[in-house]
Structure 1
């Protein structure tokens, strides 16, 4: 056995002088010296092979394993060449000696050895680079048959190793991409369609079964007769993809829950190898059940709205379209109620759009034409009262009003309503005649009665509009709930590419704007779901100062004045914040050239002057004043009317002041406006105070806390689309969800005991309300967590101990309420 650790005798360990000359030759392969005659035959043969080979080789000889190599191996040595010639193997490759010494020992013991893809850091071009090599070591025998050295051939495998790594990384990347895809994905191989890969979405949709290695027929026997097996065989046989939209499928649940009826969009894409043979099928698709349900719900909503407009008493709804200059105007919609109002059928008017104009009494046509030209030229609201001749010959009065909407193609759409006001006009005429014939005292009394009548009529109109608004807003909340929930889900899952994400983000922003509009409608109608509690109004306004200053702009100075020792007010902090922002935006818009915006909170006490109709008690006033353009008396009188705005088309909904007024009244206070043209405006919100400090609005964290998820949740809602959206959110938050369409369906599950950890229920449902269901469930299981969901303000029977969530909502809002339930559970 050769001793590889013996001391070296000289710089070059081959002693023969001819060897030294050979090693000092710049090009061994062309050296005329060749191996010396005194060397062993095996060594001479190997050296001859080494010197004439184009492949990297070396021989290590003698007790010190002296190194001799050819030109190709010099490239591997890099800057170690030519000093490595004749030196000890261990001195040359000390950095990898620990890795290769077992192979060397095996070769010196007479056994060939092999090392594949050994990593080696080499400096071949002036900098270090990571390389890999495959070595084979063979023993070399002397003339006596003893191992006197070893022979090595080596191959650089750097490119092959890097290629394998890139392929592995690509496979891992594709697997991660497929696993995180929003759609369901699986890869089937072979003619038997054996599962090779199944992503998480596939498992969520079809159940967590034993997929990989099993065939489709083994995994889904319930699909027999639903044509899916024959479609797979057709794609594998023909090599042609198959695309399907909205295909119904019945899936048996592996945990023996009721079978599901779903609608799927999917693609069967054949996988073809380099020889053109089909080796498998790539399956990708989406569960579109909720989408189809939403489309159906939208159609149903449109049908309800059409039925509502077609049955309007004493009026009709219409829509006209035309060019911006007024040409080519024609009706695009006219409700059936128009026939009752005018005597002309919808078909007649659609065929000849000039018929309504021809029905106007001659003296009023000129006013109508001038008002139309003015509205078209300014693209502004059109509103007028005219007389028209009914098809039966009777002259009647109509109030016409329409709003323009400019379209991307340059046309303008006019949405309008016309109301028969004949009875009102006749009453006004009768009243004028009466006023002309009565003496002055009677005239004054009559005027007073007329004012009272007008106030009553306005009050009734506002109340009726409020009731209608509240009902419509409730329906819109139910419609917006699945829309916002679905868009929120698509956004969080990053569905599609950048373009799709922009579209989803835009749709979500529009839905959020719709939600805010509904909240304003509910506030105007005094039906928004409030959660009043003691709130430090002064601290709330002070905390908003920076936000208000940044949104007001540099030209407007913001000054905040908070009184001392202010009592808390009974209010909903979120709604008060929204009211303050609305008032500040109005003030900013009233000061186009800059000015002073002053916010103040003061204690008005229990005595002193106060607005008419305010109940006795102690009040705070929240005042927002500006030094802007101010309002004339006519504008001030109409300021809190819904949809009335002086900002122009597209710059406001006209609901801001109406919302603030509705909020104040709903909280037991009121709103007052003082304004003069050129002197500015001061709006005061009066709010009742309280001495109770134990239930103040808590400070909100920057981000909603995460709920302690898990367990079994019972979801109760009579609106299926809302139920589906909420169930998806609860599932993503870690709950196993059981759904019920009514309280009667939910009660048996709740009364069993121990099966339900969380109850999420709508409030307004046919039969038993959500609050009644919650009380029954709580009596049976005091530890049950209950979340009440409502899109309306009818809070009858809802106790203060119930945590409420308003529709519509996103998943993060649902999570925040569940976290609040968790906190209540810990506190109790």
Structure 2
């Protein structure tokens, strides 16, 4: 039976066939008198479900395609025909019933099926309500947790939404948005439900394409997505984050549950953290254990070829097979709660398909009510370059480190030994002077005379023992030619990649190699110590940037005396090295004492603890090299080192060793220094008083001072009329060399006699502002004679000793 048969029975003019075909809903006709008769369907039915009448045959044929399950099919047919019979019997059309059917393409469809009797025929109507039903389901799911959603494993307040995606489609539409969603994005409900793109109305234009590409990719692959954007709506700028997770339905539809939250404060903190991590070359990530999802920051995801939100099984696939068991064991222990945090290094593939070394610092970031880990968080660093360098040059670096450690140890021993010698020689000077004073007073007493001889012998033996031990730590220095740039590169390698990147440590080299002569380990010591000081010159919130420059040959030297090391002799070719930092600078008080081995750098920013700088000064003096400091508090520091290119090194000045046994022959002439006005400066009061007493024995008028700063002021007083300055070398605040240079600038300038236990700190052949140099312990006759000679010949400075 067809629609045309109805026209025949009712007259062609009835137009039943045309009416049937023009129905706005899918419809079908079935002849109740012939259950096996053909089933007629209209064009809307074919458009909706895909089947033509010829493909279905009769009502039973349609039922077999619509209800693949036999039991379900029988029940559905019984209900449909019962509705037709009820209409025929009562005259009332039963309400449509809901059915789940399968279309020609194998998709599950939810329909409302209406059944009515029309004479001997049954008329069926089919209303597709699949999408409304899915939208209602999505709305119900979203409303059940409206305002509360999970963002990277944490329950937060936010705007909830639900989207519905039809089978085979890569687009979805909103079926539910709550008020917080609308308020956060500054959009209207009607517009969002009608046009999904209107949700991005207040996004920056440059973000539209990026969001659309990410969302379409997530819809196509049915994977979670998470994105952030800065809104350009009126008012204070703010950042929002959207996350959505798909839920697959049995019929191929997908419900996307999502949340939008205001992450402005989080983004501000994250941007600060990003700047810190950028400086350190780090990346952040988190892992939601129950959901099995890892969330990465965008830069990390981009460089490693990851999705910003990724399932853990996908993440494991990119780890190196050899490292995977170890890494899985560590993660398993973290997830189980056996570990709270740890550090591990492994290999993984990056976006270019290369294996890179990653070091991660990971820990448990959240726990559930029972204390079981719920999420992990970590920071990762790409350490490929550092790891490869470590693997390929470990032996070389180990050898260099051991060499530097040995040299530093020897230098430290030398500093300690020299300091002890200084103190002991000061005391020996007092003993020697008192032996001189006692000699001859009790000549008749043989026991006293013998005792004085023994004391002299003991003083000589003590002095010789000190000198022998002071020379023991001295390193044999190499006079071979060295490439200064290559040594700087080795020093930077020893500092390490992470510190180098953290402090933006840069090296500048001239076009041509710069050669120097010296022990390579000692040069490395100087560069390393100054570079480490520069590294430490910043503050935690603003690490110092460091630059090491090897200057081109011929660069002029600073036009002033060096702050450490030896004076530069005219005509000696020097190579220049400059180490600059952007730290806090060095105060004048610290600058005056930083190279003294008695100075503790605790609390002084920009200076490493221990004996590093005194050792640098010792190495510079021994190699006849020089150092200048240019610093400004709050603006940074520049250290300039000048190292000899060809000048041969000379041994330090040989200390004067007066024989105590000969003191009896050294008689002080009572009036040799008559009319002389002398200022004696030594930080040990007893020593200063003993030296003054020696001068006074020869008729001089001697004054003692233990504070070199006050002595500097006294020397500047023109009316004081000083004839000579007798000073120690190593003193706190202002040392003897600085004091002598100050005197050299006075008019008139009294001669300066140096009396020191550390004449090894002077370099032979250098021009020094001393008329005479004596090594402690000194006898009274030696000091008196040296002062007399200095006064008589003040224009002839000399480094030679009495």
Q: TM-score, normalised by structure 1?
A: 0.27
Return the index of the structure with the highest Cα Rg: 2
